[in-house]
A and B are shown apart, each in its own frame.
Chain A
Amino acid sequence: MDLADFELSQIKSYLEAVRPRLTGPEGEETLVDIESHIHTAIKARLEAGEQGNLVAAVLAELDTPEQYGPLPKYAHRSGLSIYGLIGACLLPLAIPVIGHVAELTPLGQGSPMPAFYESDVYRFLLLPLGIIGPLVSMVLGWAGIEQCRRSRGAVYGLPLGVIALWGAPLIVLNLFGLVVFANTSPTIGFPIVMVLMLLVVFVNLWVLRRVTAGALPKEHFVAEEL
């Protein structure tokens, strides 16, 4: 039984509308049961020889999201996502490590900085923090995005969560690009390097845009749409 994208999206919209109404630690499990219920009901209709948009028919028969209970009152807890905020604040810890990697490329030759990268402060404090910080930032970013999505608008700061989640992978991508360009620029020429750098910047912006769009909370489910 293969469902079309728009049918899967109808199911997803329904589940997204039900999710915030399922309170308690078992909410996610209940959601899995409801999703399974929907698929089983579609299969039953299919086996009974029904045709047409079976997903819409099944969803129309189910309880409305409102019947699962009221939306939790986030009013007392609304505000900026603390996870996203802390996650984004941890990202700058990677700056010394970025500098260190740049230092190791041909671009950094002749710089007076190596002494700093050999110091105990860097090796035992800034370097571990620069590696662990972005990793923790990714986890907090993910938690921040989930917090914003589940609050359905009551908790804001989604961009901070997105930056926290994707900042570290983008830093790694850019560092990789930097190392490659620094090592190849003498051979491929400055204009080409500039074009490639612009391409990397474009990729960064595109990834952030796509991720932000994907992380945005979905529209409230409207039964009439079905």
Chain B
Amino acid sequence: MKSWITQLRKGLIEFCVINVLKDSENYGYEIVGRLKALEVMDVTESTVYPVLSRLKGEGYLKVRSEPSQNGPPRRYFSLTRLGEQRLREMNTYWDLLSESIDTVRQSQGAK
């Protein structure tokens, strides 16, 4: 059971990250904070930051660096056009998936 939940969460992190960035740009600390608030997702830095870097490498995110008074420059992430397309596709698929799962669950319950 635990392994299934871990795998499910892992697959959903990318989906959540892209959705967090759908309206405005955000920097890593804010993104991690928003996702950490979703307790059921059990998200931490070690899962979010590599995903952010990978999505940027794949062209779904773009980065704007801003000098910070403390530490290295703060990197703000936002969706690229490709990322926005990905967001629409993922949300559409998620709706379809949850609808289908609900149908399956309800039909099981009816028996």
Q: CA–CA, A38 to B45, complex, Å?
A: 10
Question: Is residue A100 contacting chain B, with contact meaning CB distance below 8 A?
Answer: no
Residues of A contacting B: mostly:
helix
Contacts known (A30-B50, A42-B70); A37 close to B32, Cβ less than 8 A = yes
Question: Is residue B93 contacting chain A, with contact meaning CB distance below 8 A?
Answer: no
Among A25, A29, A36, A63, the residue within 8 A (CB) of B46 is A63
Stretch of B51-59, B79-87, B99-107 with 4 or more beta carbons under 8 angstroms from chain A: B51-59
Q: CA–CA, A37 to B57, complex, Å?
A: 20
Contacts known (A63-B44, A67-B46); A36 close to B74, Cβ less than 8 A = yes
Q: Are A62 and B45 in contact (CB under 8 A)?
A: yes
Q: Are B50 and A68 in contact (CB under 8 A)?
A: yes
Q: Are B73 and A32 in contact (CB under 8 A)?
A: yes
Give how many A residues have a beta carbon under 8 Å from the other chain's beta carbons: 25
Residues of A within 8 Å of B57, CB to CB, are 24-26
Interface residues on B, range: 20 to 34
Interface centre among A24, A26, A27, A33 (most CB of B within 10 A): A33
Residues of B within 8 Å of A37, CB to CB, are 28-29, 32, 45, 49
Question: Is residue B69 contacting chain A, with contact meaning CB distance below 8 A?
Answer: yes
- Which residues of B in the span 55-111 have a Cβ within 8 Å of any Cβ on A? 56-57, 63, 68-75
Question: Is residue B15 contacting chain A, with contact meaning CB distance below 8 A?
Answer: no
Residues of B within 8 Å of A42, CB to CB, are 70
Q: How near does chain A come to B56, taking the closest CB pair, in angstroms? A: 7
Seen from chain B, the residues whose Cβ lies within 8 Å of a Cβ on chain A are 27-29, 32, 44-46, 49-50, 52-54, 56-57, 63, 68-75
What are 22 contact pairs spanning A and B, CB under 8 A? Answer: A24-B53, A26-B50, A27-B53, A29-B75, A30-B50, A33-B28, A33-B49, A33-B52, A34-B28, A34-B45, A36-B27, A36-B72, A36-B75, A37-B32, A39-B70, A39-B71, A40-B71, A40-B74, A42-B70, A63-B46, A67-B46, A68-B46
